[in-house]
């Protein structure tokens, strides 16, 4: 069923009796061409692009719980392409362009809102770094704009400009950036993939990978064995657990990132804002809540909850940036498990096991990458070669020294 | 989280900084034949277990000792805290 304004009017006049469930609940077939492990944003996007762009119709997505119940259902919804390094920026700009056409592509309202992002700077050195980053963005076809303090004041008069220690000197703006409704992204990809015949199998946990003579033959699940010519793993957060079934150790640690939402307020924040003197980023949802977050907790964990020192640190960042936030009451907070990779950049690649492919290591920036991650992983699965914008995301780059370390902190995952 | 320091007693985890897997104590031999491969694995690959995990914490805002903490990554429960020095010596290191 295609959605349209006409459809809404028709259903309104006929008592809304014509709406159908947007995806089927199939039982697994004994064998598929491609099985994607993980029904989150990236796995469902992979299924969508596999079926729609790469013509693969005999595809299944297997999900342990319900689709969209992991990090795509628990993030701060920011979409942007303001990276600097060659390995990253073309990929994220590709993703940004996919976001811009996503709702038409999926025929689904993902509430994509290009309200812009501003990264504030507080020192001359930071200004230089942001100029460099902005130029790298422009060279890769993205948009970037440098604002001085007066221009920032004009757009965001409520910020703490004259802080004695960290005065706001200006900001780097990407106008095309913004936010999207995270759940709707997962549901939109799922609905589209389902319409192209992809089987989305929920409540089906992968308990093992069947590997014989170095080749992956399929997945053992709680609903029995499912054979596959190719298996793609897109389970960021749990990559270590799933890939250990293939005996692999990864350049990844699992960490928890906390995020916070205030009570609903009238519109106060016109765009996404990041603080340059501490780790704090904030936007306002369409419902009115201030959505914000900061650093990861910093220790290995698979528990979807964090500890209080980081809560304090994030709130201090918020108070330093915009003291008015102290008047808002916190409505809810949560923690999600992240694949923190050794250089802060993701991996989309084959593995040493034939027929087994890996997508992970998204750190805490996976949401913005969802469409491009799916597109590039589908390209890899369908054609057995990396997509041109994802050639740097190799699994062996740590062995060969070709790391993509945007922050320049080395192999210390909790600092990325 | 509270880390029960072997010398100082229970201390809040915010006094510590976290390094990572305690296997980082076992630095490979740089003169070995396979040193390049061993250092790649040492520097970049992790077991990243869901469950019991031995890890290095540094008491930065305290007595500056390195600790090996055995902690469950699913529950955050800490079952054992040792001085990293003692762990390293027990594994045959001189210091």
Domain boundaries, chain A: 25-81+83-108+182-251+343-415, 117-174+253-341
pLDDT in tens, A165-218: 999 999 999 999 999 999 999 999 999 999 999 999 999 999 999 999 999 999
Domains of chain B: 2-90 (3.30.2270.10)
Residue A44, Cα to own-chain centre: how many angstroms?
12
pLDDT recorded at residue A41: 97
Handedness of CA A358, A360, A366, A367 (dihedral sign): positive
- DSSP label of A87: T
More confident residue, B94 or B24: B24
**Count of all residues that appear for chain A in the document:** 416
- Whole-Å CA distances, A413 to A182, A361, B81: 25, 10, 23
Cβ-defined contact of B48 to A412 (cutoff 8 Å): no
- Average pLDDT (A229-248) is 96
Q: Give the residue-averaged pLDDT of A78-107.
A: 97
How many whole angstroms separate alpha carbon A244 and alpha carbon A97?
35
Say how far apart CA B75 and CA B55 lie, in whole Å: 15
C-beta atoms of B41 and A249 within 8 A: yes
DSSP one-letter string for A194-246? HHTT-EEE-S--EEEEEEETTEEEEEEETTEEEEEEEEEE--TTSHHHHHGGG
Q: Which of A298, A299, A411 sits opposite B43 (nearest CB)?
A: A411
Report the SS3 class of residue A356: strand
Angstrom CA distances, A344 to A214, A280, A281, B4, B43, stand at: 29, 18, 18, 31, 14
Contact (CB<8Å) B44/A411: yes
Q: What are phi and psi of A190, to 5 degrees?
A: -65, -45
Tokens of A395: 């699994």
ipTM: 0.95
- Report chain A's mean pLDDT, rounded to a whole number: 96
Q: What DSSP designation does A18 have? A: -
Distance, in Å, from the CA atom of B9 to the CA atom of B16, rounded to the nearest integer, reads 14
Asked if B8 reaches chain A (Cβ–Cβ under 8 Å), the answer is no
pLDDT, tens digit, for every residue of A26-67? 999 999 999 999 999 999 999 999 999 999 999 999 999 999
C-alpha distance from B15 to closest chain A C-alpha (Å)? 10
Q: Residue A256 has which token pair?
A: 């928890």
The residues facing B5 across adjacent strands are B9
Distance CA A270, CA A109 (A): 21
For residue A240, the chain B residue with the least C-alpha distance is: B48
Distance from CA of A356 to the nearest CA of B (A): 19
What percentage of chain A exceeds 90 in pLDDT? 99
CA distance A91 to A266: 35
Give the separation between CA A397 and CA A87, rounded to whole angstroms. 11
Q: Please enumerate in sequence order all residues whose Cβ is within 8 A of that of A397, keeping only pairs 6 or more positions apart, or say none.
A: A343, A403, A404
Mutate which of A236, A245, A296, A302 to disrupt the B interface (most B C-beta within 10 Å)? A302
| Residue A413: pLDDT band with limits 50, 70, 90 | very high
Contact B47 A302 (CB under 8 A): no
Instruction: Say whether A253 and B76 touch across the interface (CB within 8 A).
Output: no
User: CB contact, 8 Å: B34 with chain A?
Assistant: no
Find the helix or strand (DSSP H, E) in which A381 lies. helix A370-383
B21 and A CB contact within 8 Å: yes
Q: Name the 3-class secondary structure at A388.
A: helix
CA atoms within 13 A on the CB side of B65: 18
Q: What is the pLDDT of residue A151?
A: 98
pTM reported for the whole predicted model: 0.96
What band does B95 get if pLDDT is binned at 50, 70 and 90? Answer: low
Residues A360 and A347: beta-carbon distance below 8 Å? yes
Which 3 state secondary structure label does DSSP give A200? strand
pLDDT at residue A227 in the model: 98
Cβ distance of B55 and A413 shorter than 8 Å: no
A-B C-beta contacts closer than 8 Å: 70
- Alpha-carbon distance A117 to A172, whole Å? 8
List CB contacts (< 8 A) between B74 and chain A. 301-303
Is the Cβ–Cβ distance between A296 and A255 less than 8 Å?
Answer: yes
| Contact: B20, A309; criterion CB under 8 Å | no
Q: Are strands A117-121 and A170-174 parallel, antiparallel or unpaired?
A: antiparallel
Q: Is pLDDT above 70 for B78? A: yes
A117-174+253-341 has the same fold as A25-81+83-108+182-251+343-415: no
Report phi then psi at A139, rounded to 5. Answer: -60, -25
Flag whether pLDDT at A1 surpasses 90: no
* Minimal CA separation from A184 to chain B, in Å: 29
Tokens matching residue B91: 């594994």
Partner residue facing A241 (CB), from B14, B45, B50: B50
- Reported confidence tier of residue B92, pLDDT bands at 50, 70, 90: confident
Residues A109-164 pLDDT 10s = 999 999 999 999 999 999 999 999 999 999 999 999 999 999 999 999 999 999 99
Q: Which fold has domain A117-174+253-341?
A: D-Amino Acid Oxidase; Chain A, domain 2 (3.30.9)
**What architecture is the A25-81+83-108+182-251+343-415 domain classified under in CATH?**
3-Layer(bba) Sandwich (3.50)
Is the CB of B73 less than 8 angstroms away from the CB of A301?
Answer: yes
Nearest partner of A242 among A230, A232, A255, A227, judged by Cα: A232
What is the distance between the alpha carbons of residues A38 and A51, in angstroms, rounded to a whole number?
16
B61 reaches A (C-beta below 8 A): no
What span, in angstroms and rounded, lies between the C-alpha atoms of A96 and A129? Answer: 22
């Amino acid at each position: 069923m295609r959605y349209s304004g006409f459809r809404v009017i028709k259903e309104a006049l006929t008592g809304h009796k014509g709406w159908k469930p947007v995806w089927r609940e199939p039982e697994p077939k004994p064998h598929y061409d491609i099985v994607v492990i993980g029904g989150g944003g990236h796995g469902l996007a992979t299924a969508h692009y596999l079926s729609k762009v790469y013509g693969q119709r005999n595809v299944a997505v297997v999900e342990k719980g319900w689709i969209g119940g992991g990090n795509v259902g628990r993030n701060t919804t920011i979409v942007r392409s303001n990276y600097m390094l060659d390995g990253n920026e073309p990929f994220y700009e590709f993703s940004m362009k996919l976001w811009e056409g996503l709702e038409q592509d999926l025929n689904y309202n993902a509430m994509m809102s290009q309200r812009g992002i501003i990264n504030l700077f507080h020192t001359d050195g930071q200004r230089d770094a942001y100029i460099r980053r902005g130029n790298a963005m422009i060279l890769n076809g993205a948009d970037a704009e440098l604002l001085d303090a007066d221009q920032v004041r004009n757009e965001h008069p409520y910020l703490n400009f004259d802080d004695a220690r960290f005065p706001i000197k200006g900001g780097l703006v990407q106008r095309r950036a913004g936010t999207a409704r995270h759940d709707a992204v997962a549901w939109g990809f799922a609905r589209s993939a389902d319409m192209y015949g992809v089987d989305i199998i929920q409540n089906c946990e992968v308990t093992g990978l069947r590997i014989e003579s170095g080749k992956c033959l399929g997945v053992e699940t709680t609903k029995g064995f499912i054979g596959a010519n190719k298996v793609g793993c897109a389970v960021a957060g749990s990559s270590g657990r799933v890939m250990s079934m293939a005996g692999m150790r990864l350049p990844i640690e699992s960490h928890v990132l906390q995020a916070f939402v205030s009570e609903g307020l009238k519109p106060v924040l016109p765009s996404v804002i990041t603080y340059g003197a501490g780790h704090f980023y904030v936007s306002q949802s369409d419902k009115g809540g201030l959505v914000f977050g900061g650093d990861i907790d910093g220790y290995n964990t698979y528990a979807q909850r964090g500890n209080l020192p980081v809560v304090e640190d994030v709130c201090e960042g918020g108070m330093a940036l915009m003291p008015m936030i102290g008047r808002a009451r916190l409505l809810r907070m949560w923690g999600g498990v992240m694949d923190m990779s050794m250089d802060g950049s993701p991996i989309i690649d084959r593995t040493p096991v034939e027929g087994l492919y890996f997508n992970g290591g998204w750190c805490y920036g996976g949401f913005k990458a969802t469409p491009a991650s799916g597109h590039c992983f589908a390209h890899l699965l369908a054609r057995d070669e990396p997509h041109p914008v994802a050639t740097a995301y190799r699994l062996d780059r740590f062995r060969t020294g070709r790391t993509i370390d945007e922050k320049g902190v080395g192999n210390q995952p909790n600092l990325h | 989280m509270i880390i029960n320091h072997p010398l100082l007693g229970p201390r809040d985890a915010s006094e510590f900084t976290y390094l990572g897997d305690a296997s980082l104590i076992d630095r490979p031999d740089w003169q070995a034949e396979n040193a390049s491969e061993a250092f790649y694995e040492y520097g970049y690959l992790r077991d990243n277990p869901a469950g019991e995990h031995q890890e290095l914490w540094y008491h930065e805002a305290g007595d500056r000792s390195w600790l090996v903490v055995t902690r469950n990554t699913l529950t955050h429960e800490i079952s054992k805290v040792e001085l990293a020095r003692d762990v390293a010596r027990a594994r045959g290191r001189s210091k």
